[in-house]
Structure 1
Amino acid sequence: MNKSELLRHIPSVDRILKNEDIQQLLNKHPHPVVLECVRAVLDRWRDNILSGSITVIDKKKIVGEIKETINRNKKYSLTSVINATGVVIHTNLGRAILAEEAIKHVVETATSYSNLEYDLEKGQRGKRYSHIVNAIKKVVDVPSAVVVNNNAAAVFICLNSLARGKEVIVSRGELVEIGGSFRIPDVMAQSGAVLKEVGTTNKTRISDYASAINENTALLLKVHKSNFKITGFTEEVSVSNLVTLGKEKEIPVMVDLGSGCFIDLKKYGFHDEPSIQHILSEGADIVTFSGDKLLGSAQAGFILGKSEFIEIISKNPLMRALRVDKMTLAAVEATLRLYLDERKAIEQIPTLRMILEDTESIKKRATTLCKRLKKEGIYAYTKEDISMPGGGSLPESGVKTYVVAVKPNQVPQEFTKKLRQAEPPVIARIKDDLVIFDARTIQEKEIPLIVIAVKQSLTI
């Protein structure tokens, strides 16, 4: 048959809807949902006929595709996936996994009324952020704090509140892009603050800041290079030296940490990530950082510092637009409590546990996965590799890991695509024509699911 004849033989929508199998689907699903899927499948068949990829009309196949489409469409768009990439704080995969305590507190708060903005002692309206301020003060010695919906918002509202229409001095080497094309100069421009660049890309001295200060200077801003490193012939000004200059000129100092952590990671081999406590102890007036990176909690932007500045920021009308909801507050509060005991924080906060996990435990998990795959007749082997913390944290701080390598019987890109279509989707990485499953980010309970996905993807 030619294309015109094939198009005429495609069953009509009405005829499809009268099909026995489709009638059963109409008993389970709303009529508009079924109708939309029927039309989508028939349109797809028409397009394939016109492109020459279909030469025979198979009505059974059409009905089957409609059923598959309906089943696929009833699934949630946002779904859980298995992260086998080894990137712990994977921005595209939702960043930090919440600790069990945080999940429990979120569920309790979300499934009942709460004292979100109610003072139980006074029996009157309370403050939303009092829960977080109290939790933060138990972990770190800081006068005041507030939280917004992410760190970009935290930087934005600080600049908008404290430096709108005035100059903010920043080193050229710290004008970073913080992900998703959000750049410090762009955030600053939208806030209404005026960027004053000093120094060069690789070298900035305290004298550069001092000579740039004038009567219109509102802030001295230091941005931690959390997602890249500059090496070689370099020089930068420490927070303590910047604070000394700020006090001398009566100008507040703000430090954007990007990815903040309440644990001193130096003793675990990560020397380029300062703790929040350390930055505050150096005298910074305002410190901002993310909640869903090294901290290991929900997406949020923390603003810690002197009460006089936090009060100004808190009164900004934009706070209502940038505020966090009760579930975020619950997750953050529960996560912060874990930091009261460093050992407990490392054991129970998934992000910290995965980054700091000993390689023998990772090797054991990789070996288990490899054995399960071999048992299914799949050629696989374990080997050493490097994992990355990810999420713009700890740049160039790759850590030793163990992975399972599979040589697929097809193009690696096609194989990983099939893995992504598994239930649940498995996200792996390709290296040297091998598909790599990094055991650092694989949970024990996920191993059987990976085996099923690999087996199905190799046989499809």
Structure 2
Amino acid sequence: MTQKTLAQLPSVDRLLALPALADAIARHGRQPLTDCARAELAATRELVRAGHPLPATDALAAAIVGRADRLAQPNLRPVFNLTGTVLHTNLGRALLAPEAIAAMAVAAAAPCALEYDLADGGRGDRDALVEPLLAEILAAAMGEQAKNFAATVVNNNAAAVLLALDTLAKGREAVVSRGELVEIGGAFRVPDIMRRAGAKLIEIGTTNRTHGKDYAEAIGAKTALLMKVHTSNYAVVGFTKAVEEAEIAEIAHTHGLPFMVDLGSGTLTDFARWGLPKEPTPQDSLAAGADLVTFSGDKLLGGPQAGILVGRKELIAKIKKNPLKRALRVGKVTLAALEATLRLYRDPDRLAQRLPTLRLLTRCEHDIAAQAERLCPLVADFAGETSLVSIEPAMSQIGSGALPVERLASAALVVRFPGKRPGRQLAALEERLRALPQPVIGRIADDALRLDLRCLDPADEARFAAQLSVR
């Protein structure tokens, strides 16, 4: 009987000839639809053998279209970040400004003067696309040093540190405070990066206290540089002592050594201007006497993934001659986005409106709470009758290793399921949210699903609400 039933299944050719599949073939191509039809028929045969009834032809066609649509979805999909972490490493960190996105599209769609000097028709330097902007932004902090300034860009800040150490300290010693030997995301550790660069790590001080004399006493014939690492992803409190950058710079320069600062995240503006916690800037380090500063482009700066090195021209020149520079350099699309982002910093009065990262960080708690009031009924309806949804104060974090202790007042929609063991219901709800056309990523904690609305841009609210309403 099963074989007779299976014989009633339409052939692949017959299915592909159905009007219901015509639009899908036009969208996805005939070969992908053929593959989906074969796969759906194979799955249907297994179900029939297991005792399930034979599906109608139109249901089979709909299943094939659904399979094709799912396969056509990009793996890198946009999501709603309601985790409470603004710069979420797993969700792509900084959002780019419209100006940066437009610049990327232009660079991707046409030949560009990436390494071509339009003034004299000769070979150009890709770093020259952003170096003048960085010099302009940092000029006030550098004073006379501005005449001796240069910059270069690589894939990320870890690459920047690796390249700098490989160039300036390979086979020699780099002096770092023990309390600054941080581990960043993915178990990448500063000592490991130094080892890969061929530099010998000289640890000084203790985990909680390091003094200026520790730097001075560690300097020997094999010392290449003194280094300070901004402990951006944790904080040591209590009985602590860290040496100020200006003092380390003076010690280094007294011994004829360069002083390097790894800021990790790095921002090019004073956050205190917008009532945000103070974060060290490259300007601060350069003004304190640092010879080389490295920082990220895709964190607090609000641009694309990149590692930026700024400082003394002769040091940058050495770094750019290192063969590793070619392996770690960035392409035209990244440089286009970085240039457009840096241009926004020339207009500090409008930066908080034009730079998405800063706009999210400075969102008013009252506005977020009002947004929560509007969305609460929709989330409650989506979660189901057995759920309890409330609006509760929340404390967002900046993320990506920036200001780990500081929190930003926010509001969250909190979903609970009454009962002793709500874990299964919470997991099911979380899965449903992740299965939406634009997945919603929240956070389960304390037997509740928390949707922090700080990162839900008001411009995206209608789209977010619309997909919750579709059943």
Same fold by TM (over 0.5)?
A: yes
Find 2:395's aligned residue among 376, 386, 390. 386
User: Does the residue aligned with 2:126 lie in a helix, a strand or coil?
Assistant: coil
Task: Measure the CA separation in 1 of the matches of 2:7 and 2:216.
Answer: 78
TM-score (norm 2): 0.87
Residues 1:85 and 1:11: Cα distance change in structure 2 (over 3 Å): farther
Given the superposition, is the C-alpha separation of residues 9 and 226 from structure 1 closer, same or farther in structure 2, using an over 3 Å criterion?
A: farther
1:70 to 59, 68, 71: 68
Using the TM superposition, give the Cα deviation of residue 207 of structure 1 relative to its aligned residue in structure 2, in angstroms. 2.1
Task: Please give the per-residue CA displacement for 1:408-459, whole angstroms capped at 9, x wherever unaligned.
Answer: 6971111111111111111122233333222210012322333344345xx6
Q: Distance in 2 between matches of 1:49 and 1:209?
A: 76
Q: How far off is 1:347 after superposition?
A: 1.7
Aligned partners of 1:416 and 1:435 also within 8 Å: yes
- For residues 356 and 299 of structure 1, the distance between their equivalents in structure 2, rounded to whole angstroms, comes to 22
Q: What aligned pairs does 1:276-291 form with structure 2 within 5 A after superposition?
A: 276-291=282-297
Distance in 2 (CA, whole Å) between partners of 1:348 and 1:372 is 30
- What amino acid sits opposite 1:34 in the alignment? L
Instruction: For 1:408 and 1:43, locate their aligned partners in 2 and report how far apart those are by CA, in whole Å.
Output: 40
CA, structure 1 residues 441+455, in 2 after alignment: closer, same or farther (shift >3 Å)?
Answer: same
Counterpart in the other structure of 2:116 = 118
Return the alpha-carbon distance in structure 2 between the equivalents of residues 12 and 240 of structure 1.
Answer: 83
Deviation for aligned residue 1:149: 1.1
**Contact 1:171–1:204 under 8 Å retained in 2:** yes
Residue matched to 1:430: 444
Q: Indicate the residue corresponding to 1:359 in structure 2.
A: 365
Give, as a single letter, the amino acid of the residue that structure 1 aligns with 2:65. K
1:162-173 counterparts in 2 under 5 A?
162-173=168-179
Q: 1:48 to 1:208 in 2, by over 3 A?
A: farther
C-alpha contact 1:174 1:224 (8 A) present in aligned 2: yes
Letter in 2 for 1:250: G
Match of 2:344 among 338, 351, 367: 338
**Aligned residue for 2:421?**
none
Displacement, 1:10?
6.0
Segment drifting more, 288-297 vs 29-38: 29-38
Rounded Cα–Cα distance in structure 2 between residues aligned with 1:333 and 1:440: 27
Moved more, 222-231 or 11-20: 11-20
Is 1:37 the counterpart of 2:36 in the alignment?
yes
Deviations along 1:54-104, one digit per CA (max 9) or x if unpaired, are 542544466544332111111222121111222111111111111122222
Q: More displaced, 230-239 or 24-33?
A: 24-33
In 1: Cα distance, 2:400 partner to 2:91 partner: 10
Give the CA deviation at 1:343: 2.3
Partner of 2:302: 296
Partner of 2:128: 130
Q: 2:265 & 2:103 partners in 1: Cα distance? A: 23
The answer to whether the Cα contact below 8 Å between 1:363 and 1:402 also exists between their aligned partners in 2 is yes
Structure 2 equivalent of residue 101 of structure 1: 99
Quickly say closer, same or farther: Cα 1:332–1:62, change in 2 above 3 A: same
Match of 1:384, SS state, is strand
| Alignment match, 1:80 | 78
TM-score for both structures, normalised by structure 1: 0.89
- 27 and 424 in structure 1: CA distance in 2 versus 1, 3 angstrom threshold: closer
Q: Displacement, 1:309? A: 0.2
Q: How many residues align?
A: 450
Counterpart residue identity of residue 107, structure 1: A
Partner of 2:225 in structure 1? 219
Q: What does 1:228-377 align with in structure 2 at a 5 Å threshold?
A: 228-271=234-277, 273-370=279-376
Q: Which runs of 5+ in 1 are unaligned?
A: none
Deviation string, structure 1 residues 380-417 (Cα, Å, up to 9, x no partner): 44221111111111101111101223346971111111
Q: Distance in 2 between matches of 1:12 and 1:278?
A: 76
Within 1, Cα distance between the matches of 2:243 and 2:408?
28
Distance 1:412 1:47 in 2: 32
Q: Which amino acid aligns with 1:437?
A: L
Q: Distance in 2 between matches of 1:330 and 1:71?
A: 33
- Check 1:71–1:213 CA distance in 2 against 1; reply closer, same or farther (3 A cut): same
* Percent sequence identity over aligned pairs: 39
Pair 1:272–1:171, CA change in 2 (3 A): farther
Which shifted more, 113-122 or 300-309?
A: 113-122
Question: CA separation in 2, counterparts of 1:237 and 1:58?
Answer: 76
| 8 A Cα contact 1:13 1:39, kept in partner | no
Whole-Å Cα distance in 1 between the matches of residues 399 and 46 of structure 2?
42
Q: Does the aligned pair in 2 maintain the 1:82–1:446 contact within 8 Å?
A: no
Shift in CA distance, 432/377, structure 1 to aligned 2, threshold 3 Å:
closer
| SS of the residue 1:259 aligns to | coil
Match of 1:56 in 2: 52
Deviation at 1:363, TM superposition (A): 2.2
Query: Does the 8 Å CA contact 2:150/2:310 hold for their aligned counterparts?
Result: yes
Q: 1:412 to 1:214 in 2, by over 3 A?
A: same
Match of 2:11?
15
Contact (CA 8 Å) 1:419, 1:453: kept in 2 or not? no
The aligned counterpart of 2:181 is: 175
Contact 1:221 1:255 in 2 (8 A): yes
| In 1, Cα distance between equivalents of 2:168 and 2:46 | 58
* Contact in 1 for aligned 2:156/2:306 (Cα 8 Å): yes
CA distance in 2, matches of 1:82, 1:149: 26
What's the Cα RMSD here?
A: 2.9
Letter in 2 for 1:433: D
Structure 2: where are the runs of 5+ without partners?
Answer: 140-145, 419-423
Q: CA deviation at 1:328?
A: 1.2
State how far apart, in whole Å, the 2-side matches of 1:14 and 1:211 are. Answer: 83
User: CA distance change for structure 1 residues 346 and 122 in 2, over 3 Å: closer, same or farther?
Assistant: same
Is the 2:104–2:334 contact (alpha carbons within 8 Å) kept by the matching residues of 1?
A: yes
Q: Contact 2:383–2:429 (CA<8 Å) still a contact in 1?
A: no
